[in-house]
């Protein structure tokens, strides 16, 4: 054995003896002795518990309300009050929860390379749904017998792609030709394909979410004003060309002066809130869900909450979404790179925009749209993409926390041995970097 190998071996033995004398120290890259249970504990300890608690509470409320709003129909169709709830909703919750854990466990940066392919697949699916999609009530929005809605995937895909593109070092966000023009082409193409279904609400969610991410990434304010003006003009043209959209806006404007003049859906939602009062009529006691409210387990589920739990119960749901927004933006600030920060901003904005639209429709604050309430409304594809988004947000937090703990552990190891020959930290400081070496030379 050479002299250098003997010296290295002696150093390793001396270092391991110090570790045994100081149980708080750990050996970097030495994972062979770590038991599986310890690794699992470390995984769950790096998850953002406040965000998980908010999601679990929303899912719990959603499960209760889906059962409450479907037990009568389920009894008629399946012969049991829990048939639909158990076979459909709980299965969706279980599968989406597994997806959340899977995406939280994998470093979010791994998926950056697939963002372009996901966007291309989404565009292909949007084209396919126009050609061979399921024709329901004069609209083509789904494939595979209604189980897959490309519009909901588009909302997810635009967040992933924008985070990857805007977070790239070579992207010139504030440039007109290299920032604004590509942004307008990509977002405009996706939004246009969604409006052809037609689905104006999903197109609006895609556009507004992308604009928020564009702003956070450092876009020129004049460019943002141009985008907003262009979106407004396009929206006006689309509404003018779609009869059903004009009817909804007319009903909304009429309802501002007289609620009895607004559309049937909104009238029944307002009636549910009025019956619920401050404290509600009690769980399962809603009358509006028995035929009066359209889609009580999806678009109108917030109205059922308002009737059964009252204004106070509805306020709790709103407070949970506010807490989700606060926590999501906090995670964006703590992210270690622009890609992770934009992912958190995008997914948080996406969820909050959906929640705001759904709640606003139920309270006659905006014209009627068909947007589900995130985490609460029934829907397999919508819940799946939202939970995957939350999983990626948790992965961003895990990476940030892991780096922080690694840095603290390195400092602890470097400064534990305080004998006279080891008074200086072993970690290289600014003075030991290449630039400093060059200056010393």
Query: What is residue 146's three-state secondary structure?
Result: coil
Q: At what angle do helices 301-334 and 380-416 cross, to 10 degrees?
A: 30
Mean pLDDT of 297-304: 88
Is residue 415 situated within a structural domain?
no
Distances in whole angstroms, Cα of residue 357 to Cα of each of 204, 239, 326, 364, 413:
10, 17, 18, 10, 52
Q: How many domains does the chain have?
A: 2
Confidence at residue 266, expressed as pLDDT on a 0 to 100 scale: 79
Is residue 202 situated within a structural domain?
yes
Q: At what angle do helices 150-166 and 200-216 cross, to 10 degrees?
A: 10
Tell me 140's DSSP state. Answer: E
Distances in whole angstroms, Cα of residue 271 to Cα of each of 266, 288, 293, 419:
8, 8, 10, 77
Do 88 and 135 sit in the same domain of this protein? no
Q: Which domain holds residue 315?
A: 48-105+261-409
Do 193 and 291 sit in the same domain of this protein? no
Do 312 and 270 sit in the same domain of this protein? yes
Do 167 and 188 sit in the same domain of this protein? yes
Is residue 15 situated within a structural domain?
no
Do 81 and 142 sit in the same domain of this protein? no
Higher pLDDT, 41 or 99: 99
Do 168 and 97 sit in the same domain of this protein? no
Q: Name the one residue in this structure whose structure tokens are 């969610």.
A: 205
Return the CA Rg of the chain.
27
Higher pLDDT, 52 or 26: 52
How far is it, in rounded angstroms, from Cα 415 to Cα 150?
55
Do 79 and 128 sit in the same domain of this protein? no
Do 267 and 370 sit in the same domain of this protein? yes
Q: Is the pLDDT of residue 417 over 50?
A: no
- Tokens for 384, please give them: 């799946």
pLDDT tens digits for 125-144? Answer: 899 888 877 767 556 777 76
Is residue 320 situated within a structural domain?
yes
What backbone torsions phi and psi does residue 142 show, to the nearest 5 degrees?
-140, 160
Do 276 and 383 sit in the same domain of this protein? yes
Do 208 and 193 sit in the same domain of this protein? yes
Confidence at residue 406, expressed as pLDDT on a 0 to 100 scale: 57
pLDDT tens digits for 276-292? Answer: 888 888 888 888 888 77
The answer to whether the CB of 297 falls within 8 A of the CB of 70 is yes
Count of residues in the chain: 441
Do 90 and 117 sit in the same domain of this protein? no
Task: Look at residues 219, 233, 152 and name the one whose alpha carbon lies nearest to residue 182.
Answer: 219
How far is it, in rounded angstroms, from Cα 284 to Cα 307?
10
């Amino acid at each position: 054995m050479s002299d250098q190998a003997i010296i290295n071996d002696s150093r390793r033995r001396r270092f391991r003896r110090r570790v045994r004398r100081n149980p708080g120290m750990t050996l970097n890259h030495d994972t062979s002795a770590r038991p599986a249970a310890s690794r699992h504990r470390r995984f769950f300890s790096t998850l953002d518990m406040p965000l998980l608690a908010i999601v679990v509470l929303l899912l719990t409320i959603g499960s209760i309300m889906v059962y409450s709003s479907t037990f009568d129909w389920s009894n008629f169709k399946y012969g049991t009050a829990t048939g639909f709830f158990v076979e459909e909703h709980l299965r969706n919750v279980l599968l989406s929860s597994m997806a959340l854990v899977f995406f939280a466990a994998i470093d979010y940066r791994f998926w950056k390379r697939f963002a372009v392919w996901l966007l291309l697949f989404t565009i292909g699916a949007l084209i396919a749904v126009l050609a061979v999609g399921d024709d329901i009530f004069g609209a083509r929005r789904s494939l595979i017998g209604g189980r897959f809605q490309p519009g909901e995937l588009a909302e997810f895909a635009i967040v992933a792609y924008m985070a990857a593109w805007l977070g790239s070092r070579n992207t010139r966000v504030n440039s007109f030709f290299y920032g604004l023009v590509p942004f307008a082409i990509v977002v405009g193409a996706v939004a246009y394909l969604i409006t052809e279904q037609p689905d104006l609400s999903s197109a609006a969610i895609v556009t507004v979410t992308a604009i928020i991410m564009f702003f956070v990434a450092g876009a020129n304010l004049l460019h943002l004003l141009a985008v907003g003006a262009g979106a407004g003009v396009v929206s006006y043209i689309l509404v003018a060309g779609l009869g059903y959209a004009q009817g909804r806006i007319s009903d909304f404007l009429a309802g501002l002066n007289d609620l009895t003049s607004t559309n049937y859906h909104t009238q029944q939602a307002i009636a549910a809130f009025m019956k619920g009062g401050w404290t509600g009529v009690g769980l399962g006691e809603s009358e509006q869900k028995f035929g009066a409210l359209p889609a009580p387990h999806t678009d109108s589920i917030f109205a059922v909450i308002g009737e059964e739990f009252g204004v106070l119960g509805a306020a709790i749901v709103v407070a949970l979404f506010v807490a989700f927004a606060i926590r999501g933006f906090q995670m964006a600030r703590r992210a270690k790179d622009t890609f992770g920060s934009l992912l958190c901003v995008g997914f948080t904005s996406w969820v909050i925009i959906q929640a705001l639209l759904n709640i606003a429709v139920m309270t006659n604050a905006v014209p009627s749209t068909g947007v589900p309430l995130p985490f609460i409304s029934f829907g397999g594809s919508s819940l799946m993409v939202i939970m995957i988004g939350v999983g990626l947000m948790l992965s961003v937090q895990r990476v940030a926390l892991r780096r922080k703990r690694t840095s603290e552990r390195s400092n602890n190891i470097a400064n534990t041995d305080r004998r006279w020959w080891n008074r200086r930290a072993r970690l290289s400081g600014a003075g030991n970097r290449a630039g400093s070496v060059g200056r010393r030379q």
